[in-house]
């Protein structure tokens, strides 16, 4: 096999937050595959084929990327943020497991700056102590699993980064998540709503969880719920390094 497959993270939005390693991979690619809005971030050029697809076609996209690379292409599969965080790296390896013939293919995973880390940096240091990340989409797991993980994370006093909080197809999920956390006694915790971080329409909003409403988030929003010790200092929010 003369081709290669690279799985790359484009970061949260700004070109300034794309790593040099990822930029180099994009510059030599013959094929770029990914969810259409992410592929649109890659500039067209001679010798490059852009192959956008729908956001629920991850396994088909991964299988096509493996096929193109096995045929000799220099293939890059793009995700926003980091490809290993609720993104395409897992889908590629799942597809690879189904097609053992491709397992000798040269594959690289190139990290990117996640929405969680970009949002935390804008707000200060809300992830300065133990934290977890939970995807609120129930497309690939039942809501009961999401609810249990939220309850246990609250009980363990983790800061919680919540991905994919609210979409047009499931507008009720984020409200249910807020209710779970209020019932777990997190009403006074600080919540950071970080929308479109690093884009022109970036918006950061910080409220107590008791004041948070579902309408404050959409699919471009990363939500961070602080732990019980998270506090403000001026306009910043941070989690102390000492646990109590």
Q: What is the pLDDT of residue 169?
A: 74
Distances (CA, A) of 17 to 22, 81, 169, 195, 234: 10, 9, 30, 16, 26
* Mean pLDDT within 231-242: 95
**Which has more confidence, 174 or 139?**
174
Q: Retrieve residue 53's tokens.
A: 């697809």
CATH of domain 116-238: 3.30.950.10
Q: What is the pLDDT of residue 109?
A: 98
Cα 226 to Cα 125: distance, rounded to the nearest angstrom: 10
pLDDT, one tens digit per residue, over 164-192 is 998 777 778 899 999 999 999 999 999 99
> What is the model's pTM?
0.93
**At the top level of CATH, which class does the domain 4-113 belong to?**
alpha beta
Signed CA dihedral, 139, 144, 147, 151: sign only: negative
pLDDT tops 90 at residue 1? no
Q: Retrieve residue 34's tokens.
A: 């990914």
* CB distance 33 to 63 below 8 Å: no
In the chain, domain spans = 4-113, 116-238
- Give the chain as a 3 state SS string: CCCEEEEEECECCCHHHCCHHHHHHHHHCCEEEEEHHHHCCCCCCCCCEEEEECCCCHHHHHHHHHHHHHCCCEEEEEECECCCCCCHHHHHHHHHHHCHHHCCCCEEEECCCCHHHHHHHHHEECCCCCEEEEECCCCCCCHHHHHHHHHHHHHCCCEEEEECCCECCECCHHHHHHHHHHHCCCCCCEEEEEECCCCCCCEEEEEEHHHCCHHHCCCCEEEEECCCCCEEECCEEECCCCCC
In this prediction, residue 195 has a pLDDT band, given cuts at 50, 70 and 90, of very high
Q: Which of these, 76, 36, 75, 42, lies nearest to 55 by C-alpha position?
A: 36
């Amino acid at each position: 096999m003369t081709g290669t497959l690279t799985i790359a993270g484009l970061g949260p939005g700004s070109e300034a937050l794309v790593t040099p390693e990822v930029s180099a991979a994009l510059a030599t690619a013959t094929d770029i595959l990914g969810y259409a809005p992410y592929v649109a971030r890659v500039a067209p050029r001679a010798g490059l084929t852009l192959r956008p697809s729908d956001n629920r076609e991850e396994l088909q996209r991964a299988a096509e990327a493996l096929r193109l690379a096995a045929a000799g292409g220099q293939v890059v599969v793009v995700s926003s943020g980091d490809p290993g965080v609720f993104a395409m790296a897992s889908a590629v390896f799942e597809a690879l497991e189904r097609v053992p013939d491709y397992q000798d293919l040269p594959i690289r995973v190139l990290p990117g700056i996640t929405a969680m880390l970009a949002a935390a940096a804008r707000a200060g240091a809300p992830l300065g102590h133990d934290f977890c990340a939970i995807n609120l989409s129930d497309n690939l797991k039942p809501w009961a699993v999401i609810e249990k993980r939220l309850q246990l994370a609250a009980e363990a006093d983790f800061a919680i980064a919540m991905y994919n909080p609210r979409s047009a197809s499931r507008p009720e999920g984020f409200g249910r998540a807020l209710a779970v956390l209020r019932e777990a006694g997190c009403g006074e915790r600080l919540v950071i709503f970080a929308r479109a971080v690093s884009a022109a329409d970036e918006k950061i909003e910080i409220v107590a969880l008791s004041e948070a409403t579902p309408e404050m988030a959409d699919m471009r929003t990363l939500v961070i719920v602080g732990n019980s010790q998270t506090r403000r200092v001026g306009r910043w929010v941070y989690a102390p390094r000492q646990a109590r």
